[in-house]
Amino acid sequence: MGSEPPAYQRALLRELAYLFGPEVGPEIKTYGHSFAERLAGDEELVAEICKRFEAVRSEGRFPILSALLMETSGEDLEEFFRSGWAHMALPPRESSLRRPWDPSPWDGDLEAYREDLYAGMAFGMRDVRAFAGEWLEELLRVGYYGMEESLGLPLKQRSGDFFAPPKPLPLYGDAYPTRIAETGQTIWIRLDGPRSPERGYREISVSDEPLRTDAAIVAALTALEGRPLDLGTLRKVLAIGLPLRGESFWDRWNRALEDRRTEEGLRSSLRELRHHQAIDYILMLLRYHRSGFDDLPPQERTNLVVDACAHTNELLEALRKLVTFLEHGRVSYRGPAALKVAGRDIEAAVLRDVDGLTNREIGERLGVPLPTDFRIKADHPTVRKMVGRGRRALRTALGEDGWKEQVQGMKAEAKRWRSRSEVQRQAELEAEALDVPYDEVLRRLEEGSGRSGEEGKHGIREGVAF
């Protein structure tokens, strides 16, 4: 990158794209240096841009450009818009970037650098962000090996190759799959193992170790796509909404929500579960790693989905604990308890400032018992202190005026909510919970509410496919 900070460059690039106009502005980010070269040879366009800038620079619409070009002559202005802007706003060409494996001891040898990366380079790195970038680039180079598709079997790490770039079995080396009868687990038997110094021949080795890079990619995807899910609610929904071949959970959920006969209990479960995207991610993993997944009996498919979600919950919780520990530096960190207290304090402040409740009413809402001398003093010190702490936290985060604006905005939203019908409220809750268009949900609910009679008496129940 250039000498300017990335945020500054992005802001400058936005001003330039706007100044250059809708005809050519988007090409700056899309084509970068190649666009800059074309612009440098188009004197007519350069002159037009200079003229456009001179006409609006006094209006304050381009603060960064105006500050840069405050005392620039006409000739220098043309030179800036001809080529100077590219040196400031665009990253250097790839050929001019110094790659991590260019310096000694690798001297441009990418494979030698990769060998050292897998062997461990954290001792020589000082910036975790740069170190993460190195590994992300390596994962991009390697990609996800996954399954040996012709056999439908998972590729595995070669024994002894844990600290080396992946050469998965059976793509590298003589290896043959075999299934362990007791567990159904597939392992790879490798015939070109290390030579035995005592017996002289190459030993036969066994591998069931997942590829490091595959495990890293699955962990990253799960951290991004996964969500903690209530397994009991999930089983309840799967009992009636297990997707068939080619279907997604989203397809099933939409069908349930669009059916006016769907019972409210099921709608409530769908709203409670919420994250259909996380379940579709699990379904994608299972279908890829198990070619016959959709042909399994429904109960077995349900168990696989629930078990996969259970492992996802464990991984997400482990990641949360690790990151929390790294942030706070001690095992005894009282994060959840402190967070719960802060949440109650903020809720108390909202109930006071937005809803206008008294301290006694707030205590009843939050389960804080009245003090024994309330009839005498008419004071609820516990709630009063909660409100005070909550206000301080909100004012610190938003500023005094910011919190006042937030209060007014929440009051206006509450007023709008109270003006809506029950059907409109239900539609908005469903739309927000399931991330679907409000108008579609409202139309379906209004159509359903207009019907009565025998048709409305039969709802979708557990165990009945929809």
Instruction: Return the pLDDT at 192.
Output: 64
Going from the C-alpha of 132 to that of each of 214, 223, 324, the distances in angstroms are: 16, 15, 18
Q: Average pLDDT of 293-318?
A: 94
Instruction: Return the pLDDT at 454.
Output: 42
Instruction: Return the pLDDT at 174.
Output: 59
Instruction: Return the pLDDT at 327.
Output: 81
Instruction: Return the pLDDT at 453.
Output: 42
Cα gap 210→169, rounded to integer Å: 10
- Categorize the per-residue pLDDT at 349 as very low, low, confident or very high, splitting at 50, 70 and 90: very high
DSSP 119-131: H--GGG---HHHH
Cα gap 273→434, rounded to integer Å: 9
Q: Quick: pLDDT tens for 354-369.
A: 999 999 999 999 999 9
Going from the C-alpha of 41 to that of each of 34, 38, 44, 47, the distances in angstroms are: 11, 5, 9, 11
Long-range CB pairs of 343-347, under 8 A, 24+ apart, other chains included = 344/386, 345/386, 345/387, 345/389, 345/390, 345/393, 346/390, 346/393, 346/394, 347/390
Q: Quick: pLDDT tens for 314-347.
A: 999 999 889 888 887 765 555 556 667 788 999 9
**Is the peptide bond prior to 92 cis by the omega test (within 30 degrees of 0)?**
no
Cα gap 434→259, rounded to integer Å: 16
Model confidence at 387: pLDDT above 90: yes
Domains of the chain, by residue range, sit at: 6-94, 110-142, 335-418
**Is the peptide bond prior to 170 cis by the omega test (within 30 degrees of 0)?**
yes
Among 68-77, 105-114, 309-318, 414-423, the range with the most confident prediction by mean pLDDT is: 309-318
Name the more confident of 37 and 417: 417
Residues 6+ apart with CB under 8 A from 287: 293, 294
Q: Quick: pLDDT tens for 201-244.
A: 777 767 667 778 889 999 999 999 999 998 988 888 888 778 88
- Categorize the per-residue pLDDT at 451 as very low, low, confident or very high, splitting at 50, 70 and 90: low
Q: What is the share, in percent, of the chain residues with pLDDT greater than 90? A: 23
Cα gap 102→110, rounded to integer Å: 8
For 226, the 3-state DSSP assignment is coil
Q: How many helices (H) and strands (E) are present in the chain, helices listed first?
A: 22, 5
Phi and psi torsions of 385, nearest 5°:
-70, -35
Q: Choose the weakest-confidence range: 208-212, 260-264, 428-432.
A: 260-264
Report yes or no: 15 and 22 within 8 Å, Cβ to Cβ.
no
Instruction: Return the pLDDT at 333.
Output: 52
